[in-house]
Amino acid sequence: MTHATTPLLQTPFHAWHVERGAKMVPFAGWEMPLHYGSIVDEHHQVRTSGGLFDVSHMGRIMLVGRDARALLDRICTRQVIDMKEGQARYSIVCNEHGGCHDDVLVYLVAAGEYLMVCNASNRAKILAHLHAVKEAEGHVLSIEDFTESSAMIAIQGPRVMDVMGEFSSSIPELRRYRFVRKELLGLEMYVSRTGYTGEDGVEVIFRTDSLAAKAAMKLFLGKVGGIDAIQPAGLGARDSLRLEAAMALYGHEITEEIDPVSAGLLFAIKLDKGESVPEAGRFIGQDALQRIHAEGPARRLVGLELDSRRAARQGAAVHHAGDVADGGEPGEACGEVTSGTLSPTLGKSIAMAYVDAAHCEPGTTLAIPFGRSAVVATVVPLPFYAAGG
């Protein structure tokens, strides 16, 4: 008996990737470029100059209407009511127990008009959550998922803002987490000074649901893609870059079972939401996060440097050091790796892991088994890498 499989979605740039020899792989229901030759080379290109990522697989949702703000304040851990037009804000969407449905970016386009960007793997879940809360609480607004009729690219690296300045002098003037609506080369777009690599740069969103938009998109991509300072980069480099910058990845550092307090994302949580500004209301999961914060998380997310060039894998156990430094056995398990890689920038094996709260201080020596042997892993401050640091 054969089972029908759902065809992979393709981004508007699929042919562009194939022309450049990208290795295409399935990812969250999409066919995406993993790399164009060398993940390490693409990683260094972003750190030293600039890289162009197709991130069109990420969910893009418009919320428009009288209660758009109220709905967002209900589901987001950050406060939305005090946002200004042209501002983007990183937030978490939690379940009742404080676990993470997803992490998102919310853009205030105009009064009563918001854009939300979510992770590709969570698009259906976030849409269902938005509609469920809207119906349960009687909010009046429209919710439009325009992911498949639009595109999104991220252009990241230390030379990117100079390059973008050649297209528009106002783009380099943007502050971090600010955006502007512009028309460039006949293409209407949102350009935000945001990103997921630890480098400066922009993320660009535009509609692709007309022939004119498709033609303008090709022109824009040809212009940007033809600049030597900017080279295409795939999902492989995107992951190693975000890990060096200690940016949480859904399914790794945050999940439905892992709360953002334990993940070190307090900057993205307004624990007293609804108190100083009652109109903002309380968010779903706020009671749970207040309790976790007051009691202290049982485990915390930490950075680890391994005394080895082997990369720790997600799910690998973290142990007390025991006698590993002397060639002996590790102690009892006290944590679990969420992400790991051999850092191209630092030349070291690094990992993020959840570790029992009593063993999270920088300098603490732990151990990670690799088959019959184990290596020393030292707790270090996060992030591992900061641009200009």
Q: DSSP for 119-157?
A: -GGGHHHHHHHHHHHHHHHT---EEEE-GGGEEEEEEES
Residue 2 has pLDDT above 80, yes or no: no
pLDDT at 3: 56
pLDDT at 44: 98
Residue 240 has pLDDT above 60, yes or no: yes
pLDDT at 192: 98
pLDDT at 39: 98
Residue 1 has pLDDT above 60, yes or no: no
Percent of the chain with pLDDT over 70: 99
pLDDT at 326: 82
- Measured distance CA(117)–CA(105) in Å, rounded: 5
Cβ neighbors of 377 (< 8 A, separation 6 or more) are: 304, 305, 306, 307, 312, 318, 351, 353, 365, 366, 367, 368
**Which of the two residues, 209 and 80, has the higher pLDDT score?**
80
Tokens matching residue 152 = 């999104």
Q: Predicted confidence band at 216 (pLDDT cuts at 50, 70, 90)? A: confident
What's the one-letter identity of residue 67? D
Closest CA to 147 of 110, 175, 177, 117: 117
The alpha carbons of the chain give a radius of gyration, in whole angstroms, of 22
Helix (H, G, I), strand (E, B) or coil at 345: coil
pLDDT at 159: 96
pLDDT at 327: 84
Q: What are the percentages of helix, strand and coil residues in the chain, rounded to 5?
A: 25, 35, 40
Residue 16 has pLDDT above 60, yes or no: yes
Percent of the chain with pLDDT over 90: 87
pLDDT at 4: 59
pLDDT at 84: 98
pLDDT at 12: 93
**pLDDT tens-digit profile of 288-303?**
999 999 999 999 999 9
- Please, what are the domains in the chain? 8-297 (3.30.1360.120), 298-384 (2.40.30.110)
Buried b / exposed e along 300-315 (16+ C-beta atoms within 10 A): bbbbbbbbbeebbebe
Residue 389 has pLDDT above 80, yes or no: no
Residue 324 has pLDDT above 90, yes or no: no
**pLDDT tens-digit profile of 263-288?**
999 999 999 999 999 999 999 999 99
Q: Work out the mean pLDDT of the chain and round it to a whole number.
A: 95
**pLDDT tens-digit profile of 141-163?**
999 999 999 999 999 999 999 99
- Measured distance CA(383)–CA(350) in Å, rounded: 11
Mean pLDDT of 380-389: 93
- Measured distance CA(239)–CA(237) in Å, rounded: 5
